Structure 1
């Protein structure tokens, strides 16, 4: 499964929440998205929720520093 497969479920979410959902998917694997689909079958108004991927929002600056990038511009840190 790729991001394009999840796009219908995340396209209306804010970018940081999209990222958190994708990180959760990365950590949990395809079962995460399959559970969401099974649980919300026929309920298109339900939105997928991020799990442990939410930490990326809180730790964005620390992650960027460790990678040597500015997280706002995604350019190498000065």
Structure 2
């Protein structure tokens, strides 16, 4: 089953940057033995990186948001 793309353009870039930043925060929190903060940041970061990689967001799908249209407008 393929996921229908609904994340693109600047939205995708921002999810990738925020995802990497949250993973770094998770590692720093884990090294500081702040387990709840580390787990929360890691889950959020992994979720955003999943969105970035697959170009699919479940919340976008539920609310009917499709930021890939921005890419199509830029190509025209």
- TM-score using structure 2 length: 0.29
Q: Which has the higher strand share?
A: 1
The answer to which structure, 1 or 2, has the higher relative contact order (CA under 8 A, 6+ apart) is 2
- TM-score using structure 1 length: 0.28
